[in-house]
């Protein structure tokens, strides 16, 4: 039922009138009467008799074009609702796009054949060729793929999709944003030929989205590529799911129950018996957990492939050391970076300068040993709220006064407040006569023409250069490394690798960070798997996701605590907080062992439904909240 109230998170029985007997089938949309309102609903099952003993209302009408919810997606939707303590109706709203009558009247196309792809590009990876062969044989292999620098990842994903299609099965590929999707779209057309795939994204508008949905549903195309809104697409005979750059927060849905595309696709792989690629230049702790539990095989670049593809990566101390570098007076660029840039420009190649986004949370770290400052109570990240004020925990709200570093015992903290990212003008003055262009979230450059120029970009929006960049300079890295966020290091490596991946193999990447840091070592050796293994070990020790599962409860003051207090004790849920969100709202975190995650979700869903029936104020539940997972 398309009804948002949590207490209606249940199924309802309706009678099928004789005239609709042939039309009412599982997966079709219907109109029904519910508490004197006409509502739309989805038929989940058709039975000979009702389970409900009371008076049963008839179905009023069947909404064309017939069944839109496939059995596979129906099962998936229920699993995701359970996983995220959500409402089945909410998940179905994510899965079923808005209907466009006009599109239904369009003549159906015919399915075009897909030829088997070449294997040699995947040969560059451990287990890569074997993966593609297994896929072509209709099997369901699963890999955590770490791409080598400069990899045409979109083409590799397209080849994997072609391998699945050649075996007579479908593929679903999900990427973080529209730009990635456009790149994947072009690669799919190049590898498969035209009209063998569709794309699904919010940005295309409801009509094209519904058209793509119907083509997939009818099996006219076997391959669907999209942003996270495509994660429930009804791909027929699903044989492969793939997610690219799964550390990108864009993959988390902004709509209840806020599922992560990676989790949805992993669940789909299990339900459909499909192959799976969790890929990126970097690797998340979640992907590493798949490897360590034996669910997926690690597929990093082979040694020779890595050597051939990797630019030189040079670390040059952190920003504090740079301040003392006399040659860095102009635009504060260290001399090594200067040299790399000059050399690139002389060779008529572009230079990429990655600068931090403004407005990061002021973070705190130890001045002596530089480890991230964390809360002694809950191990959450600390932040500063003002000068000469003690640090405060972002999770539980505890004021850490006096503060002592958990690693070295020092009481001296180092604060990093971002807000004054260097400007393009500042950079331009350092390179007289060279064109300087900017790319940022609000004005993004997709690609640049060949030739010498300087590109100043914030992370995640770096334009692609035709022959690769001659130099990639990662500056102000301290801002990234000390973000008051659990995943700060993992996220730093991810955005650095994504930038260095754009460098030509003959180029030089300069990272203004201490070469002794594990995260910098991982970048130099291009070993995201090793770093993810370390990260996972740390998180296991500290009780962080994905080893532990978190839920965020956000609601009116006092309500989240009340809900948490009513949870059964045997769940072992640890309450962290609450902290104020605004004047009237607060947020409480709950932490349980991973294996108790399902029980926590079920309990929270039940508690929410009970509160709703009792007309208590709503508390929003987020399992794996975006800012923590």
Which listed residue (82, 270, 407, 627) binds Zn ion by CB under 5 A?
Answer: 407
The answer to the question of residue 541 lying near Zn ion (CB under 5 A) is: no
- Give yes or no for a contact between 141 and 273, defined as CB atoms under 8 angstroms apart: no
Q: Which residue intervals of 358-447 are DSSP H helices?
A: 424-430
Q: Which two tokens stand for residue 278?
A: 């969790």
Which listed residue (28, 163, 366, 502) binds Zn ion by CB under 5 A?
Answer: 366
**Which position has the token pair 């398309």?**
2
The answer to the question of residue 399 lying near Zn ion (CB under 5 A) is: no
Give the nearest distance from C-beta 319 to Zn ion in angstroms: 18
Whichever of 343 and 368 has its CB closer to Zn ion, that residue is 368
**276 known ligand binder:** no
H/E stretch holding 238: strand 238-244
Whichever of 502 and 517 has its CB closer to Zn ion, that residue is 517
Q: In what order do the strands lie in the sheet with 170-174?
A: 197-200, 223-226, 170-174, 238-244, 275-280, 142-146, 297-299
The answer to the question of residue 377 lying near Zn ion (CB under 5 A) is: yes
Whichever of 287 and 560 has its CB closer to Zn ion, that residue is 560
**Which position has the token pair 């193999």?**
505
**369 known ligand binder:** yes
Whichever of 345 and 405 has its CB closer to Zn ion, that residue is 405
Give the nearest distance from C-beta 404 to Zn ion in angstroms: 9
DSSP 8-state secondary structure symbol assigned to residue 582: S
**Which position has the token pair 């590898």?**
191
**Which position has the token pair 């360590």?**
292
> E strands within 35-136?
37-42, 61-63
The answer to the question of residue 391 lying near Zn ion (CB under 5 A) is: no
- Give yes or no for a contact between 341 and 351, defined as CB atoms under 8 angstroms apart: yes
Q: What backbone phi and psi angles, to 5 degrees, belong to 108?
A: -70, 150
Q: Which of 361, 375, 457 is nearest to 416 (CA)?
A: 361
Give the nearest distance from C-beta 586 to Zn ion in angstroms: 15
The answer to the question of residue 98 lying near Zn ion (CB under 5 A) is: no
- Give yes or no for a contact between 28 and 63, defined as CB atoms under 8 angstroms apart: yes
**378 known ligand binder:** yes
The answer to the question of residue 375 lying near Zn ion (CB under 5 A) is: yes
Q: Which of 84, 9, 172 is nearest to 602 (CA)?
A: 84
The answer to the question of residue 378 lying near Zn ion (CB under 5 A) is: yes
**28 known ligand binder:** no
- CA of residue 172 relative to chain centroid, distance: 15
The answer to the question of residue 192 lying near Zn ion (CB under 5 A) is: no
Which listed residue (5, 25, 320, 408) binds Zn ion by CB under 5 A?
Answer: 408
Binding mask 326-365 for Zn ion (x = CB under 5 A): ----------------------------------------
- CA of residue 575 relative to chain centroid, distance: 26
The answer to the question of residue 155 lying near Zn ion (CB under 5 A) is: no
Which listed residue (352, 393, 529, 551) binds Zn ion by CB under 5 A?
Answer: 393
The answer to the question of residue 158 lying near Zn ion (CB under 5 A) is: no
Annotated binding site: 366, 369, 375, 378, 393, 396, 405, 408
Annotated binding site for Zn(2+): 366, 369, 375, 378, 393, 396, 405, 408
Q: List residues binding Zn ion (CB under 5 A).
A: 366, 368-369, 375, 377-378, 380, 393, 395-396, 398, 405, 407-408, 410
């Amino acid at each position: 039922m398309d009804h948002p109230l949590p207490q209606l998170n249940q199924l309802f029985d309706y009678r099928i009138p004789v005239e609709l007997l042939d039309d009412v089938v599982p997966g079709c949309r219907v109109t029904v009467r519910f508490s004197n309102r006409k509502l739309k609903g989805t038929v989940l099952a058709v039975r000979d008799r009702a389970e409900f003993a009371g008076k049963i209302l008839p179905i009023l009408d069947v909404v064309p074009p017939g069944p839109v919810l496939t059995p596979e997606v129906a099962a998936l939707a229920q699993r995701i609702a359970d996983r995220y303590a959500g409402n089945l109706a909410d998940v179905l709203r994510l899965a079923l796009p808005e209907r466009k009558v006009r599109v239904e009247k369009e003549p159906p196309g015919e399915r075009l054949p897909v030829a088997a792809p070449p294997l040699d590009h995947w040969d560059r990876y451990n287990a890569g060729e074997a993966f593609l062969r297994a896929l072509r044989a209709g099997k369901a292999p699963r890999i955590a793929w770490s791409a080598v620098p400069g990899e045409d990842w979109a083409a590799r994903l397209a080849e994997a999709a072609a391998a699945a299609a050649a075996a007579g099965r479908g593929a679903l590929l999900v990427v973080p944003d529209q730009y990635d999707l456009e790149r994947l779209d072009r690669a799919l057309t190049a590898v498969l030929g035209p009209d063998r795939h569709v794309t699904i994204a919010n940005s295309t508008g409801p009509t094209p989205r519904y058209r793509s949905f119907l083509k997939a549903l009818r099996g006219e195309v076997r391959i669907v590529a999209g942003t996270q809104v495509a994660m429930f697409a009804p791909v027929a005979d699903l044989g492969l799911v793939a997610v690219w750059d799964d550390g990108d927060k864009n993959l988390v849905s902004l709509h209840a129950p806020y599922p992560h595309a990676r989790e949805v696709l992993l669940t789909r792989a299990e339900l459909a018996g499909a192959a799976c690629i969790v890929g990126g230049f970097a690797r998340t702790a979640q992907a590493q957990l798949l490897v360590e539990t034996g669910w997926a095989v690690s597929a990093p670049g082979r040694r020779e492939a890595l050597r051939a593809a990797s630019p030189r990566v040079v670390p040059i101390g952190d920003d504090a050391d740079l301040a003392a570098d006399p040659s860095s007076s102009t635009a504060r660029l260290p001399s090594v970076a200067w040299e790399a840039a000059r050399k690139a420009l002389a060779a008529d190649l572009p230079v990429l300068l990655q600068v931090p986004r403004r407005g990061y949370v002021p973070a705190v770290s130890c001045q002596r040993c530089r480890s991230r400052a964390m809360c002694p109570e809950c191990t959450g990240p600390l932040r500063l709220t003002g000068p000469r004020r003690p640090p405060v925990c972002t999770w539980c709200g505890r004021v850490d006064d006096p503060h002592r570093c958990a690693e070295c015992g020092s009481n001296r903290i180092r604060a990093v407040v971002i807000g004054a990212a260097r400007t393009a003008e500042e950079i331009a003055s350092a390179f007289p006569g060279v064109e300087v262009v900017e790319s940022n979230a609000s004005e993004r450059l997709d690609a640049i023409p060949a030739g010498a120029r300087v590109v100043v970009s914030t992370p995640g929006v770096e334009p692609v250069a035709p022959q690769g960049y001659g130099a990639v300079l990662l500056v102000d890295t301290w801002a990234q490394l000390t973000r008051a966020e659990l995943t700060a290091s993992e996220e730093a490596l991810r955005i650095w690798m994504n930038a260095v991946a754009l460098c030509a193999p003959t180029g030089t990447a300069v990272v203004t960070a201490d070469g002794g840091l594990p995260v910098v070592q991982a970048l130099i050796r291009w070993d995201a798997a090793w770093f993810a293994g370390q990260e996972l070990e740390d998180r296991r020790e500290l009780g962080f996701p994905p080893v532990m599962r978190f839920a965020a409860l956000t609601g009116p003051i006092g309500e989240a605590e009340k809900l948490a207090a009513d949870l059964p004790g045997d769940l072992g849920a640890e309450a962290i907080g609450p902290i104020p969100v605004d004047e009237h709202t607060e947020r409480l975190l709950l932490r349980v062992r991973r294996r108790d995650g399902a029980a926590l979700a079920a309990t929270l869903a039940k508690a929410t439904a009970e509160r709703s029936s009792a007309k208590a104020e709503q508390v929003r539940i987020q399992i794996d909240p975006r800012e923590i997972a």
